[in-house]
Structure 1
Amino acid sequence: MTMIPHAGSMCLLDAVLAWDEVSVRCLSRRYRDSDNPLRRADGVLGSACGIEIAAQAMAVHGRLISGETGQPTRGYLASLRDVTLRTLRLDAVDGDLAVDATRLMGDDRGATYRFVLSVQGAELLSGRATVLFSGAA
């Protein structure tokens, strides 16, 4: 939780399962929590909310490969491409959410990742995201 700039119920990752220089695999059980701040007033958690969960995995990966300590650098989602939603709602899915993010390119100004969220091997959503880091020109 200290590796990303999210706190409390907004931190939607439970664990980093594996990582290397180009990829990370995280686990989320928190996406099912009733106090998930991404839920609509009627309790529905749309599948597009998985993009935020994927972005948190990207943030964790960036922090892991940088070896930084102290306050995490803030990143801003600048672009989404090739996003495919294979389910309407995440709140209707049973099981732990696997969050895979693979860094396609990046430097100290930003990074582009391919992401896939799945439950028990069934892909729920995927796409590419570009993140710009605060202070990037």
Structure 2
Amino acid sequence: MSALAALIPHQADMCLLERVIEWNDESIHLETTTHRSLQNPLRSGDELHAVHLCEYGAQAMAVHGALQAQARGSTAAPGMLVSLRAVEFHCDRIDDLPGPLHIQAQCLQASAASQQYSFTVSHAGTLLAQGRAAVVLGETPAA
């Protein structure tokens, strides 16, 4: 199990992120090459469409929340993605991109009940997608 999979509910091939580059209380920067994997569960036929970059952004949010909780000595509350807003795509597909994707998420608002983030996904310095996402949080698991 990867270190990131231990932090979030996404397991096996569905854990799309591979490495945290840096993070602080407000934001996180990760990278991955899972967009190239033939085992990527989001693939449709031989392609991975740009719309799936929203999942990469949502997983970055989950990792950020888990790292924040871990730093406080607790466990992150489970979350459910409830909305995507102002999402823009600057490509059609991503499976043919040779290098790693860079995923950044910035916390815009956080409470015990919900979180809102902005996210960007880029490749080789080129913006692929950007948007905002909202998550409703459940009960924090007992320690």
- Residues 85/55 of structure 1: CA separation in 2 closer, same or farther (3 Å cut): same
Cα RMSD of the aligned pairs, angstroms, is 1.7
- Residues 7/103 of structure 1: CA separation in 2 closer, same or farther (3 Å cut): same
Q: Distance in 2 between matches of 1:69 and 1:26?
A: 22
1:31 CA displacement = 2.0
Q: Secondary structure at the match of 1:66?
A: helix
Structure 2 spans left out of the alignment, 5+ residues: none
Aligned counterparts, 1:44-123, within 5 A: 44-67=47-70, 72-123=76-127
Q: Distance in 2 between matches of 1:75 and 1:31?
A: 24
1:74 CA displacement = 2.3
1:72 CA displacement = 5.0
**TM-score, normalised relative to structure 2:** 0.88
* One-letter code aligned to 2:124: Q
Total equivalences in the alignment: 135
1:96 CA displacement = 0.3
Contact 1:77-1:130 at 8 Å conserved across structures: yes
Identity rate, percent: 35
Q: Distance in 2 between matches of 1:69 and 1:11?
A: 23
Contact 2:57-2:119 at 8 Å conserved across structures: yes
**TM-score, normalised relative to structure 1:** 0.92
* One-letter code aligned to 1:47: A
Structure 1 spans left out of the alignment, 5+ residues: none
